[in-house]
Amino acid sequence: TLRLVDLLKEVKFCNRKFDVTEDLVVNCIFKRARNLDDKFNGHLCLIKCYSGQARWDDGLRTGLDLVRKLDAPLASVPSKRAFRLELFKTVMALRKKTDDDLLALPRMTDKRVLKVMKSLLSFSAIGRLLGSRYFALTIFRMVQLSLKHGLTDITAVAFALFAYSLINLGYTEKAYRFGRLALTVLDELDAEKLLPTTYTFVYAFNFHWHDPVQTVIDPLLRCYKVGLEIGDAEYASYGILHRLLIQLHCGALDISSLIEEHQQYVPTVVAAAKDMVMATYQASLNLAGDSPDPSRLNGRAMTEDDLLQRLAEKNNPISEYYFRMSAACVAYLFG
């Protein structure tokens, strides 16, 4: 019976019935489970549900509790000291290791460590959306575990996320190296289920620092399509968001075609990315003259005041960043 409920919750999740999925996990799986092993997939699904509904505080709290139950707790307070310590440990573990050394690591087999890796991955991006140092701490821990216990499909994402961290620290060439390593691990381990997450961080945030920005547009469309095929609606949404955003800023499409792409993809975007993509959509409409005041993001896609109020209620600094980036563009062009 537990297996049937587990399958049912996956079906409901893939169809974005997040409230039904949460109810199945909490009131069926958790109540009938005998131990943490029985509950584990339910915890992961619950975190994805929270993320899909932009309930990031709930998702982060659930993830931290899960790694604690697996005897792999993160720092109780994500302080600067904890960040620097974990970064130092990661850099030292990687020192003098070539690409061949990293790719020659054995496969990870420890079941507990594999569960820790899955748990860390499940809530790592939530830390980014909240502007929390837990994002970096999960990344460093996943890289450290891969170096100590071997490669797994999640290592591809770990390398992609580590590259993202290096970009934020100003090391774009080193980030490019780990982005390429992420794609190699993804390919060698045939880990298509993690393609959307890996592609999002490699192509949306990394490779345009090294390669022409137009080269990332098609991979982000693949990210979107694969994400929908395998039920990863969240990273499918992030992939298409950045494809639309990059096309807007680099002029890869004429404005009418870009608006058509927004109209095609916006209905499929999850709540977590909806506010970000609507800002891009309205900016495109402003450029086409479809706005009462082209210097502000007000029109048929959104209104600035409503969006800012919603973001303030959600405590969502990343979505606010995307909004202000689009708002600054139209203010500069038309203000």
- Which distant-in-sequence residues (6+ apart) come within 8 Å of 51 by Cβ? 59, 123, 125, 126, 234, 272
pLDDT of residue 173 exceeding 90, the answer is yes
Residue 66 has a pLDDT of 96
Residue 12 is predicted with a pLDDT of 78
CB contact at 8 A, 138 and 160: no
Looking at every residue in the chain, the average pLDDT score rounds to: 92
- Inter-residue contact 140 to 87 (CB < 8 Å): yes
What is the pLDDT averaged over residues 131-156? Answer: 95
Residue 17 pLDDT class (50, 70, 90 cuts): confident
In single-letter form, the type of residue at position 106 comes to P
> pTM here?
0.89
Q: Looking at residue 55, what is its pLDDT?
A: 85
pLDDT value at residue 1: 65
Q: What letters, b where the CB count within 10 A reaches 16 and e where it falls short, cover 244-269?
A: bbbbbeeeebebeebbebbeebbeeb
pLDDT tens digits, one per residue of 309-321? 988 887 778 889 9
**Cα–Cα distance, 221 to 168 (Å, whole number):** 25
